[in-house]
Amino acid sequence: MDKIATINELYFEKKKNLTEIAQIINTSVSYISKILRKDERYKEEKEKRKKDNLIQRRETQKELIYTKRKNKKDTDFIDMKKKHEQAAKELSKHSSIGNQDLRKWCSSAYIYNEKKKCYEFDTKNLLKPHDFPMYIKV
């Protein structure tokens, strides 16, 4: 079989591209292209392959975009779920703060009373919440 027939068979029947044919026959890509351009089927086949490649590229891009969006949504959902669980744990605690800790936390609200030897809520400058103790023993 001569080179031209082999090239035509590889390109049109086995659907190989120019670089693959050049490697098989051990010639340059430009030589393969030169021979194929002489065949009248070449333009049709070339246009058909361009359309097929375009369709395949678009499908690949769609798939990539879809998977990226899906992965992003999944990670956002997981992060939000973790934050929600943490907030629920913090808000569901039914413990109360101790008087000493409350005094340290609100140090400007309590003044030490020497006579009673305890801390007293400063009612002159502040309004006392109902759940704050008036006196805190030392």
What's the pLDDT at 26?
92
What's the pLDDT at 50?
93
- Domain ranges, residue 104: 99-137
Tell me: the pLDDT tens digits for 70-113? 766 677 788 888 999 888 877 776 667 788 888 888 888 999 99
The reply to whether 49 falls in a domain is no
Q: Do residues 77 and 106 share a domain?
A: no
Q: Which of 35, 43, 44, 48 is nearest to 9 (CA)?
A: 35
Q: Do residues 106 and 87 share a domain?
A: no
The reply to whether 48 falls in a domain is no
Q: Do residues 70 and 82 share a domain?
A: yes
Q: Do residues 108 and 81 share a domain?
A: no
Q: Do residues 88 and 104 share a domain?
A: no
Domain count, the chain: 3
Tell me: the pLDDT tens digits for 28-58? 999 999 999 998 999 999 999 999 999 999 9
The reply to whether 25 falls in a domain is yes
Q: Do residues 83 and 105 share a domain?
A: no
Determine if the pTM surpasses 0.85.
no
